[in-house]
Every structure is written in structure tokens, then in C-alpha cells.
Amino acid sequence: MFADPAVVTYNAVAKSLVRTGTGEEKSTYGLNDSGVIYKMDIGHSSKARNRAYAKYQRTAAVTDPLIPAQNIAIGGTATFSVDFPPQMTAADVVLMAKALRDFLTDAFLLKLANFET
């Protein structure tokens, strides 16, 4: 089981997301920080292949460009997942995931967000 709260850093500020749900294959964490909603799911499934993931979501209110007197909710999601056969060792899964994690530099993520391929 992962730590409670789960601490994520957004724009250099640590956010403590408390566990809001626990199931056999998924735990959910969340924080409402003055109307800005942070949510994280950590889970896994194991059928013909194994899959483990962490999904982070942030939702905030911004001014509606069509009706400036009103706000609208906007949000985004970042997901990290590993998919592997049952025969693969946990050590190999970690090495594979770390290889991608280390590749995801700030410069690469900016290019990705700007639709470069």
C-alpha cells in the first residue's frame, strides 16, 4: 500500500492528496485546494497481461472567454502506465519504466505538449 497522503508537486508547490478510496485493484487520492481539484488514481490489473498505472488529474475554474462574468471548469490528465507479461520480472519492469521516466525531460514534455513528434 502506498503512503497516505500521496504528495505531488505542482508548479514547485507540494500538494498532499489524502486517500479517498481503496479497492482491491485501485486507490484514489484527492485534494480540493480552494476550488482547484487534484486527483490521483494508482492501480493495476492482471489478466493475460499485467498493467500498473498512476493517473494524475487537475481541474480548475477559469474565466469563460465567451461570457467573461462566468467561470468554466477546465482540466487535464497525465498518466504513466506499464504493460507487461506475467513472465517479466519486477526488476525488468522497473528498469523499463525508469528508462522512459528518465527520457521525459522538461524540454521533451514541452515539445510533446506542443504536438511535436
Query: 74-115 pLDDT, tens per residue?
Result: 999 999 999 999 999 999 999 999 999 999 999 999 999 999
> How far is the C-alpha of 78 from the C-alpha of 58, rounded, in Å?
9
Q: Which of 18, 20, 14 is nearest to 6 (CA)?
A: 18
**Band of the pLDDT at 31, cuts 50, 70, 90?**
very high
The pLDDT, as a whole number, for residue 27 is 96
> How far is the C-alpha of 36 from the C-alpha of 58, rounded, in Å?
7
Q: Which domains does the chain have, with CATH numbers?
A: 6-85 (2.40.160.220), 87-117 (no CATH)
Environment class of residue 59 by beta-carbon count within 10 Å: exposed (0-12), middle (13-18) or buried (19+)?
middle
Query: 38-52 pLDDT, tens per residue?
Result: 999 999 999 889 999
The pLDDT, as a whole number, for residue 47 is 87
Please list the residues that pair with 22 across neighbouring strands: 27
Residue 40 C-alpha cell reads as 490521483
Q: What is the mean pLDDT of residues 68-72?
A: 92
What pTM does this model have? 0.86
Distance in angstroms between the alpha carbons of the first and the last residue of the chain:
36
The pLDDT, as a whole number, for residue 94 is 97
* Secondary-structure percent of the chain, ordered helix, strand, coil, rounded to 5: 20, 55, 30
Whether 2 shows a pLDDT value over 90: the answer reads no
Whether 24 shows a pLDDT value over 80: the answer reads yes
Whether 58 shows a pLDDT value over 90: the answer reads yes
The pLDDT, as a whole number, for residue 46 is 92
